[in-house]
Amino acid sequence: MPTTKIRPYAAGPATVNQIYTIVNEAYKQTSGSGAQTAVDTASLVAMGQEMEMLGTYDIWLRSLSRMIGMTIDDYRVYTGQFNDMRRSNMEWGAFVRKLHTEMPEAVADDSVNLIDGQSIDQWIIANPKVKEKIFNVEAPYSFFITIQHRWLKEAFRNESEMSGFIGSIFGAVQNKIEITHENLGRLAMCNFISNVGDDQHFKLVTMYNAFSGEALTTETAMNDKYFIAYAMGVIGEVSRAMCTMSVLYNKEGRARHTPVGLQRLAVLNSFMSGWETIAQRNVHNPEIGGITPDIVVPYWQHQAKINGNFHENAKVETNTATVENVIAVLYDFDAMGTFRNNQEVHTTPVNARGLYYNTFWHENQMYFNDMGENGVIFTLD
């Protein structure tokens, strides 16, 4: 996944990076079908058995039986977890310019220092200090599928049943596009995590041990109710602090404030389980910390089984850095996001010789990190 590139404005086409290899690799990791490896975010998110009935499957796909009693399609619509990071055409276009105007320094009030025979220059110039960022990285990829009606007919009882199956094929493509968009949002967040500065990194176990005199480790902290309550309190405290103008919570040292309504909190499921347990036990104050997560994720980059795999699910590994034991990310809405700026679907004519046609989906997306906006991470370090 390409990161945001900041450069002086220049006429010409936007940067275009083919990311189909990253799309495929991200799917392997997020689906749990591949081991976790460093992702190149800088250049850019009933048990059935397969049957093989010799001589009875269809001629085209060679995987559908010819003799059918009833057909059940297992297609379901998938909705991505990171949809909140998507931007509309009005919010984000193919070429975005972001302007930052710095606040002026205070100067002496000369009205209290009037001297006979002297004048005050009211035309002295104090130009506003403005900085510009250009976001113009595009990331295209595509999918395509082949449909062959002639031999597919043998696997279904009627046209309606076959049309339903074809609909599920196209639905599966849409699900893959949705998962891909989710994964790009996930990788945009992983890229942000791997690029935060030291002041944006809250090492909760170290902080708690210094506060309490305990000697907790990452493993023991996960089951310590006092630590979990403390960690929730820190997250809430930082959230409230981000509402006040400061330079403390972004990497570029810019004066920023993020109202609660523009804050987003993503929490790892493993920590959220302890969070909910503590909240349920505390009947007098069920909303400890005073904040509610916007996104609860089972993993940041690579999905592993829940039991005993906290470290793997809590790890972010990019070509920029490796960050471990991440339990939460609190960030400004404008700190990261994704945008599908183009989708085209085209279908070929029927191939007269092979009696098939292809449908192509062309996706072109943009996603960004702005390290000048507020954003912090919390880890069990």
> Is residue 244 situated within a structural domain?
yes
* Whether residue 140 sits in one domain with residue 173: yes
> Is residue 5 situated within a structural domain?
no
**pLDDT for 188:** 86
| 141 SS3 class | strand
> Is residue 121 situated within a structural domain?
no
Residue 206 in contact with residue 227, Cβ under 8 Å? no
> Is residue 59 situated within a structural domain?
yes
> Is residue 116 situated within a structural domain?
no
| pTM given for the model | 0.68
> Is residue 4 situated within a structural domain?
no
* Whether residue 263 sits in one domain with residue 224: yes
**pLDDT for 13:** 47
**pLDDT for 286:** 43
Which residues in the chain land under pLDDT 70? 1-20, 31-34, 40-109, 111-112, 125-141, 278-291, 306-308, 340-342
**Of all helices (H) and strands (E), which one includes residue 358?**
strand 357-369
* Whether residue 233 sits in one domain with residue 137: no
> Is residue 316 situated within a structural domain?
yes
* Whether residue 78 sits in one domain with residue 26: yes
What is the separation, in whole angstroms, between the first and last Cα of the chain? 27
* Whether residue 310 sits in one domain with residue 298: yes
* Whether residue 187 sits in one domain with residue 203: no
* Whether residue 205 sits in one domain with residue 183: no
What is the span of the domain harbouring residue 40? 15-104+128-194+338-369
How would you write 68-98 as a 3-class SS string?
CCCCCCCCCCCCCCCHHHECCCCCCCCCEEE
Best CA proximity match to 322, nearest among 306, 336, 297, 302: 302
CB atoms inside a 10 Å sphere around CB 17 = 15
* Whether residue 217 sits in one domain with residue 153: no
* Whether residue 152 sits in one domain with residue 77: yes
* Whether residue 168 sits in one domain with residue 238: no
> Is residue 32 situated within a structural domain?
yes
**pLDDT for 178:** 81
* Whether residue 146 sits in one domain with residue 44: yes
| 250 SS3 class | coil
Number of domains the chain is built from: 2
* Whether residue 274 sits in one domain with residue 179: no
Residue 300 in contact with residue 193, Cβ under 8 Å? yes
